[in-house]
Structure 1
Amino acid sequence: MTARDAIVLNSHGVGQYAYCDHMPSWGETLSVSKWHIAEDGGKGSNVTVALGRLGLDVAYVGKVGDDAWGDLGEKWMSEAGADTTFLYRDPSVSTGTGLVLLGPDGSNAIIDGDSSSSALTVDEVTAAIEGMRGSKYFITGFEVPEGIALEGARRAHHLGMKTVLNPSPLPAGSLPPLGFIDYLFVNEVEAAALAGMAKSNLESLARGVLQATSARNVIVTLGSDGSCALTEEGEFLKVDPVKVENVVNTAGAGDGFMAATVANLVWGKTLREAMEWASYYSALAVTIDGTIPAYRSLDEVNAFINGCQSKTCEE
């Protein structure tokens, strides 16, 4: 095996979509419309496809069933140019599915089913990482078991890779010290939970996450309010959102933002520059239905950015 720009260890699943006018309360029977299976992956396949379409040399590590949903994940990632050598197929498990409820304004709530990646073993993950020694970035998250994700990150860090963690969904207990994580990506709800404080002052929120986790850099996505970060040098960054009028679907926007940020870091950009570019990337993504179709090629994203900037200059 050869070294890669990025290795992604997280789950693959297939999303089902339904439209509703509000989120259900406990005990409520909710009527939805347009329930359908879409081109929507898990966090692992989402990030892998996004990186592949941006031109990075990326490899995926995960486990799926020997079923149609697993076939679909392998197809999406392979067509994006990703290496799927370490996409383990196991006939004893079923590839996971999830339900995305979409509101009238494009907001979403996601219900994750059991992940087939729960059947992954430390030995399988270690074999994959060892087989790609010299890779630049290792990206993981908690749609695979927390212990396996963190053990993979520790091993990658030991081998000199930059490590990226999206600890979603957050575990019930506290996280161990994450000094081996170079970039921790969380949304504002996760940040508040980790820091033990409500969102008020963004810098204080980011600092609270950094202190609670010991990660080197913390990036907080803020939805329509943009993003912010606190670096290991103590610099606070605030990045404005890129506004678009035709928001169709926000599912997968956070995965895309993280992938786009990492891509720019691989290209040698600063963290601020990477986050600014990723804001445009996410803005384009939310105008397209389904996560897999929303992750566009580098040429398409650059054309979108140029169009936005030209429009801003004209205004």
Structure 2
Amino acid sequence: MAHAVVMGEALVDLLETGTGDERTYRPVLGGAPFNVAVGVARLGGHAEFVGSLGDDVWADRAERFLAAAGVGVGGVRRSGTATTLAMTTFTGAEPQFRFYGEPPSYALLEQADLDTDLVAGAAVLYTGSISLLREPFRGTAVRAWTTPGPLKVFDPNVRPSLLPDTAAVDRLRRLAEEFAATADLVKLSSADVAVLYGGATVAQAAARLRTIGARAVVVTQGPHGAWLDGPAGVAQIPAPVVAAIDATGAGDSVMAALIHRWLTAGPPGGPARWKADLAFALAVAALVCERPGGAVAMPTLDELRSRWGELP
């Protein structure tokens, strides 16, 4: 079976609940790449998670959760540190994150830990997110990215709380564009565009990444759907209308859904397939938004059919 290698962080999201001064925090396993790997597996694809976990009970639970979801854990390495926490507050359904834990348990994957045969044999390689802000993970991801073989998909997954000044934003933009230049697919959110490209529209940001080499760019826009700029042209794809309660992991589910489709049928060719794949991905994300977020919100194909009927 064709497999995807998903590289990046696993951590614990502490999701805020309650009103006024009466707030509590519900711990759930998360991290964008962790969510992507689980999302691919829940949809019936084969994903291998490659990353570092700590040495505590949360790391044990994360590894068990991956395995129970059907995600391969042969690329997981354990480090002697506590699992990173992400304090998650909300504006409406949209989450904001602050991260706690030094050194970050998710960024300690060394180049010597990388199974290059696993990467070379993959149909799809995903990387991105906050792990790329730190060494040694960044160097390990670059090594994987330059390994011939898989289609390459990238998501910068910008977290402003980790970018203290304009210099940090500039560094992340340069790093993101280095990966984007050889990517088969780049996925951003409209919030990522606002941070990385200031006053640019999503269409302008996508066009820039296409100009520097990305084969296709998808920019998610919450309830407004997604903008596509790819080899078959540009298009605005609408999202299903839902009463969102928690958008945590929604963008990750879009990436998981697209990877699942690529594993099943290869990358799209013409515009009809691109639009169908994105419509499917946005239906996945809409269902995720109706649930309390994180990896636990990633749906199965049966759950999608139960909610939406047959999808393109």
State the TM-score, normalized to the length of structure 1: 0.83
Identity of aligned residues (%): 21
Distance apart, 1:194 and its partner CA: 3.5
Does the 8 A contact of 1:6 with 1:138 survive in 2? Answer: yes
Distance apart, 1:191 and its partner CA: 1.9
Distance apart, 1:193 and its partner CA: 3.7
Paired residue secondary structure (1:76): helix
Does the 8 A contact of 1:117 with 1:145 survive in 2? Answer: no
Q: What are the superposed Cα offsets for residues 26-59 of structure 1, whole Å, 9 maximum, x if unpaired? A: xxxxx64442233241112111111111111111
Q: What are the superposed Cα offsets for residues 168-224 of structure 1, whole Å, 9 maximum, x if unpaired? A: 23653132533221111111121234344333xx4334213433x532211101011
User: Following the alignment from structure 2 to structure 1, what is the Cα–Cα distance between the partners of residues 227 and 297?
Assistant: 23
User: Following the alignment from structure 1 to structure 2, what is the Cα–Cα distance between the partners of residues 208 and 189?
Assistant: 16
User: Following the alignment from structure 1 to structure 2, what is the Cα–Cα distance between the partners of residues 249 and 272?
Assistant: 25
TM alignment of 1:157-176, pairs within 5 A: 158-169=147-158, 172=169, 173=171, 174-176=173-175
Structure 1 match to 2:163: none
Distance apart, 1:112 and its partner CA: 2.6
TM alignment of 1:195-206, pairs within 5 A: 195-199=197-201, 202-206=202-206
Structure 1 range deviating more: 163-172 or 280-289: 163-172
- Which of 85, 93, 104 does residue 97 from structure 1 map onto? 85
Distance apart, 1:142 and its partner CA: 2.9
Structure 1 match to 2:291: 288
With over 3 angstroms needed to count, the CA separation of the structure-2 counterparts of 1:87 and 1:32, relative to structure 1, is farther
User: Following the alignment from structure 1 to structure 2, what is the Cα–Cα distance between the partners of residues 150 and 264?
Assistant: 29
**Stretches of structure 1 lacking an aligned partner (at least 5 in a row):** 22-30, 310-315
Letter in 2 for 1:183: L
Structure 1 match to 2:208: 208
The number of residue pairs the alignment matches comes to 289
Paired residue secondary structure (1:184): strand
User: Following the alignment from structure 2 to structure 1, what is the Cα–Cα distance between the partners of residues 234 and 294?
Assistant: 30
With over 3 angstroms needed to count, the CA separation of the structure-2 counterparts of 1:257 and 1:150, relative to structure 1, is farther
Structure 1 match to 2:164: none
Does the 8 A contact of 1:153 with 1:163 survive in 2? Answer: no
Q: Which runs of 4+ in 1 moved over 4 A?
A: none
- Which of 91, 94, 97 does residue 110 from structure 1 map onto? 97
Structure 2 match to 1:240: 238
**Stretches of structure 2 lacking an aligned partner (at least 5 in a row):** 160-167
Structure 2 match to 1:264: 261
Letter in 1 for 2:130: E
With over 3 angstroms needed to count, the CA separation of the structure-2 counterparts of 1:169 and 1:113, relative to structure 1, is farther
Letter in 2 for 1:215: A
User: Following the alignment from structure 1 to structure 2, what is the Cα–Cα distance between the partners of residues 32 and 119?
Assistant: 36
